[in-house]
Amino acid sequence: LEPKEEFEHSSLAVDVMRPRRSDPALAVLTQEGMTVGEVEALVESTHYSGFPVVVSQQSQRLVGFVLRRDLLISIDNGRKRQEGVVSSSQVVFTEHTPSQAPDAPPPLRLRGIMDLSPFTVTDHTPMDITVDIFRKLGLRQCLVTHNGRLLGIITKKDILKHMAQITNRDPDSILFN
Ligand code: ADP
C-alpha cells in the first residue's frame, strides 16, 4: 500500500465495507440458538473466509469472529468424537451453556475457536486510518459497526479493489505489506 494521497477523496469505512446495499445481508452466526445443521448450511452456502458472531439476529451486537476453516474442522471433530453431537445439537459460543430441553442432544461448544476481540472500526472511520490499521496490525479483515451494532466487514482484498478503483490500477500491482 502506497502513499496516502490516494485517499485524499476521504472515503470512509462505510464506502468500502460489504455488504453493499444490493448484496445479500452479512452472513453472521448467533452466539446461541443455531443448530449444527444450520451452521453447516450457512457456511456451505457461502465462500466467506469467516463469520462474525453476534448476540442475536435482532441485536447485531458483536461477540467475536470465527474462521470458516476452524468452524468446519471443529464441527467435523465434534460429530466424530463427541458423544451425541448431531445436526440438531445447538452450537454454543457463550461461556456458559444456555439451558436446553431435557431431551435435547448435547450442545457443541465452540467458544474456543472464536476470536473474542476482532478488530472493528466505525462506519465513519476514514479509510486512510483503516488502511493504517490493516498495515500495522497485519489484519486480513476488520468489522464495521455503527452505535455498537455490526454493519459490515472489510477484507484486505476489498481495500485493494477500492484503491485500484480510485487509482485506476490493477489491484495486484498495489503493494500491501
Ligand atoms: P476475500 O475478500 O479475501 O475474498 P472473503 O472470501 O472472506 O475474503 O470475502 C469475499 C467478499 O465477501 C469480500 O468482499 C468480503 O467483504 C465479503 N464478506 C466476507 N465475509 C462475509 C460475511 N460473513 N458475510 C457477508 N459478506 C462477507
Q: What is the pLDDT of residues 3-30, one digit of tens each?
A: 555 555 579 999 999 999 899 999 999 9
Alpha-carbon distance of 69 to 101, in angstroms, equals 30
Residue to probe by mutation, ligand 1, list 151, 153, 172, 176, most atoms within 8 Å of CB: 153
At 42, phi and psi to the nearest 5?
-65, -45
Q: What is the pLDDT of residues 33-47, one digit of tens each?
A: 999 999 999 999 999
Does 177 have pLDDT greater than 50?
no
Contact 156, 137 (CB under 8 A): no
Contact 143, 52 (CB under 8 A): yes
Whether the CB of 48 sits within 6 Å of ligand 1: yes
pLDDT at position 10 is 77
Nearest alpha carbon to residue 35 among 84, 107, 112, 113: 107
Alpha-carbon distance of 117 to 63, in angstroms, equals 8
Whether the CB of 4 sits within 6 Å of ligand 1: no
Whether the CB of 24 sits within 6 Å of ligand 1: no
Alpha-carbon distance of 43 to 126, in angstroms, equals 31
More confident residue, 99 or 114: 114
ipTM exceeds 0.85: yes
CATH of the domain at 24: 3.10.580.20
pTM value?
0.91
In the chain, the number of structural domains is 1
Q: Which domain holds residue 98?
A: 4-173
